[in-house]
Amino acid sequence: MTKADIVNEIAKSTGIDKVAVLETVEKFMDVVKESLTHGENVYLRGFGSFIIKERSEKTARNISKNTTIIIPAHKIPAFKPAKVFMEQVKA
């Protein structure tokens, strides 16, 4: 499902104009990205959490050049689904 599909589905089920729905969905994504950029997790009860995960420094190998490189510690965004959501998907 794409963003356009989500917008169409919400517009169809609520009767709200597609332009307004698209603007709302875009703003929601902007707020989530901005919060994660500032190190704040986003919690949506019954759905899940957008969180920042810490990856520690590790050693990796470049097989083609037969060299070792160090990948520095870094942060990545992640999504952790709520238990209720996970149970619905498993069913």
18-77: pLDDT as tens digits: 999 999 999 999 999 999 999 999 999 999 999 999 999 999 998 899 999 999 999 999
> Which residue, among 14, 53, 13, 10, has the nearest Cα to 28 in the 3D structure?
10
pLDDT at residue 91, rounded to an integer: 83
pLDDT score, position 9: 96
Report how many domains make up the chain.
2
Q: How many residues does the chain have?
A: 91
Tokens for 18, please give them. 């597609």
The 3-class SS string of 31-55 reads HHHHHHHCCCCEEECCCEEEEEEEE
DSSP 3-state assignment of 12?
A: helix
Shared domain for 45 and 75, answered yes or no, is yes
Question: Is the domain of 89 the same as that of 74?
Answer: yes
- Residue-number span of the structural domain to which 57 is assigned: 41-91
Q: What is the pLDDT of residue 8?
A: 96
56 and 35 in a common domain? no
Contact 55, 74 (CB under 8 A): yes
Query: What digits encode the pLDDT tens for the residues 21-33?
Result: 999 999 999 999 9
Residue 46: predicted pLDDT: 93
Shared domain check, 48 and 33:
no
In this predicted structure, what is the pLDDT of residue 72?
96
